[in-house]
């Protein structure tokens, strides 16, 4: 058995900027236990994995009473929303149920809707206001933030658009000093955590069963090393 740590992150996505449900933070320890049986790492709403040099440690508070107050002030005191999930991924539904429980503490009623696996990414993904999805890790931080979170990107699943965030990414691309560039990506991550529409409660490990006859097996989140894998004695 081989474990690839933090191989992919799971998200519950609000298909709008600043959705009221964003105030109901998941409890990372709870979802790690409920959905992954502990086989992963808390995400704290930051999609950049802990093993990335640009990763920043963010710990947004789970404060259901504050969330309840903010929702009431925004006119959403009895908010009820549908969260779409599917058997396409075995972790989607446990994650959705954990979110349902956490959101309920803030007075938000989540209705978990299970969609067909064979049409989830054509009929639900990026079409429904609240949905579950996942991404493999291993992408460079520049690619991840620009591809998934920049305003106007075709893979911006939440439709979030923030000019300050986009400007930070532009500055980071122009920056030649590695340390300063890392700081800029850190500031961009802070905006994703504090303002973005993606709730990223966890990074899931990937467990792979392989024969003892296999040699040279290695994987790095987003990809496998196909060049060096083979069978012993072959």
Could you tell me if residue 174 is inside a domain?
no
Structure confidence at residue 23 (pLDDT):
46
174 CB-side CA count, 13 A: 6
What total of structural domains would you count in the chain? 1
Helix, strand, coil content of the chain in percent (nearest 5): 35, 25, 40
Q: What is the pLDDT of residues 48-99, one digit of tens each?
A: 999 899 999 988 777 788 888 878 888 888 889 999 999 998 889 988 998 8
Q: What is the CATH number of the domain that holds 114?
A: 3.10.105.10
Could you tell me if residue 200 is inside a domain?
yes
Q: What is the C-alpha to C-alpha distance for residues 33 and 155, in angstroms, rounded to an integer?
A: 29
Could you tell me if residue 161 is inside a domain?
no
Q: How far is CA 104 from CA 21, 75, 96, 101, 181, in A?
A: 11, 17, 12, 5, 40
Q: What is the pLDDT of residues 96-133, one digit of tens each?
A: 998 898 888 888 899 999 999 999 999 999 999 999 99
Are 202 and 33 in contact, with CB atoms under 8 Å apart?
A: no
Highest mean pLDDT among 3-12, 39-48, 90-99: 90-99
SS3 state at 68: helix
Reported confidence tier of residue 22, pLDDT bands at 50, 70, 90: very low
Residue range(s) defining the domain that contains residue 122: 2-139+196-231
Could you tell me if residue 149 is inside a domain?
no
Could you tell me if residue 150 is inside a domain?
no
Q: What is the C-alpha to C-alpha distance for residues 106 and 118, in angstroms, rounded to an integer?
A: 33
**Across all residues in the chain, what is the average pLDDT?**
83
Q: Is the pTM of this model over 0.85?
A: no
* CB neighbour burial string for 81-98, b if at least 16 within 10 angstroms, e if fewer: bebbbbebbebbbbbbbb
Could you tell me if residue 177 is inside a domain?
no
Q: What is the pLDDT of residues 149-201, one digit of tens each?
A: 999 999 999 999 999 999 999 999 999 999 999 999 999 999 999 899 888 88
Could you tell me if residue 201 is inside a domain?
yes
Q: What is the dihedral of CA 132, 59, 139, 123, to 10 degrees?
A: 10
Could you tell me if residue 187 is inside a domain?
no
Structure confidence at residue 230 (pLDDT):
82
Structure confidence at residue 221 (pLDDT):
61
């Amino acid at each position: 058995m081989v474990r690839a740590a933090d191989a992919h992150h799971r998200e519950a996505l609000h298909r709008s900027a600043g959705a009221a449900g964003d105030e109901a933070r998941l409890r990372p320890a709870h979802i790690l236990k409920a959905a992954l049986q502990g086989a992963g790492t808390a995400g704290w709403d930051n999609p950049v994995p802990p093993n990335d040099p640009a990763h920043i440690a963010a710990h947004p508070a789970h404060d259901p009473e504050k969330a309840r107050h903010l929702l009431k002030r925004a006119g959403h005191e009895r908010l009820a929303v549908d969260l779409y999930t599917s058997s396409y991924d075995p972790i989607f539904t446990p994650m959705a149920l954990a979110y349902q429980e956490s959101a309920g503490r803030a007075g938000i009623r989540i209705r978990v809707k299970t969609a067909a696996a064979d049409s989830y990414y054509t009929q639900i993904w990026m079409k429904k206001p609240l949905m579950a999805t996942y991404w493999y890790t291993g992408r460079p931080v520049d690619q991840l933030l620009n591809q998934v979170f920049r305003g106007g990107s075709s893979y911006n699943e939440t439709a979030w658009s923030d000019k300050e965030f986009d400007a930070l990414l532009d500055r980071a691309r122009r920056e030649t000093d590695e340390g300063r560039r890392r700081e800029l990506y850190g500031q961009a991550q802070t905006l994703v955590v504090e303002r973005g529409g993606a709730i990223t409660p966890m990074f899931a490990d990937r467990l792979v069963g392989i024969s003892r006859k296999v040699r040279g097996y290695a994987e790095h989140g987003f990809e496998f090393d196909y060049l060096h894998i083979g069978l012993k004695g072959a």
